[in-house]
Amino acid sequence: MARTERKIKLRERLENLLLRMVAGAVGALPRGAARAVGAGWGAVVWVLMGRLRRVGLQNLKMAFPEKTEEERRKILRQTFRSLGWQMGEFCKMSGYTAEEASKFIRYEGLEHYLAARDKGKGVLVLTGHLGAWELSSFYHSLMGYPMSLVIRRLDNPLVDGYVNRIRCLHGNRVIHKDDFARGLLTAMQRGETVGILMDTNMTPPQGVFVPYFGVEACTGSAMARVALHSGAAVLPGFLLWERSEQRYVLHFGPELELIRSGDAAKDTVANTALFTAAIERYVRRYPEQWLWVHRRWKTRPEGQERIYG
């Protein structure tokens, strides 16, 4: 056992060292070059990772049956490029100043966020793996609006610590999923802001089935439960690449009006569906920027066949 543990520790240190070396090298490049390196990485992954391609194309076929195979492949290739761009941005993030970042990022709908925050009951930012989600919360903190982020611990604790240090450079905090509900409720009691990536596959009882692109998807229900209990404001927030402007726009939508029928169980499902529909609207507008390679529909309702082989 001791020998196995030593091997694991050695592998973790090597992974951490490699990440730091790559991040340091890419981070030293001009931003355009860093993004180009990221795009090149995305192109290599597209070629080498056949399993990810298959999952992505299968998801796109379910979501957009009206599109041709070629149209779906084009979207997926652009997804890999978008992920590469985000890698380049992440390597540069620690060096960004508010003035520098504002040259390639602007707000749209910041008044929605400020109005929600000023209610004093806390803000739940509904977001997902769309656009530049890592840069999103980082930029918001850089501009003077730090928030908490609900994240899953990375398997390598050294890499996890390194990534979280960058995320939290300007006042952000992390709430790990193993302390999810308590951390959320505490943050809402303090009137804080918490961002939740709510577009990943879950399993019951933490997840409930709601439609996503017309297909039942098991979706985390904690956000709905906390919002109903605390009275916190819920509004969508996404940092998306606007090709016409050649820059990112941090979109904050209007606060969502929660469904309150008095039946807690039904209201939890109904509001989880409401939140998921809001995410879908943004993904439909920017399909090339969503994480199609995630097995979003892996968990199936009882009696249904598996979607992924």
pLDDT digits (tens, 9 = 90+) for 119-173: 999 999 999 999 999 999 999 999 999 999 998 888 888 888 999 999 999 999 9
The whole-number pLDDT of residue 133 equals 97
Compute the average pLDDT of residues 104-132.
Answer: 98
| Pairwise CA distance, residues 237 & 234, whole Å | 10
What tokens appear for 130 in the block? 């769309």
Residue labelled with tokens 């959320």: 184
The whole-number pLDDT of residue 174 equals 93
Residue labelled with tokens 């504002």: 102
The whole-number pLDDT of residue 7 equals 79
Contact criterion met (CB below 8 Å) for 253 and 237: yes
* Nearest residue to 253 via CA among 229, 279, 271: 279
Q: Return the percentage of the chain with pLDDT > 90, whole number.
A: 85
b/e per residue 285-307 (b: at least 16 CB within 10 A): ebbbbbbbbbebbbbbeeeeeeb
* Average pLDDT score over the chain: 95
pLDDT at 203 > cutoff 60: yes
- Pairing of the two strands 247-252 and 233-242: antiparallel
| Pairwise CA distance, residues 86 & 133, whole Å | 8
Compute the average pLDDT of residues 95-116.
Answer: 97
For the stretch 11-24, pLDDT in tens is 888 888 888 998 99
Q: What residue ranges do the domains of the chain occupy?
A: 2-289
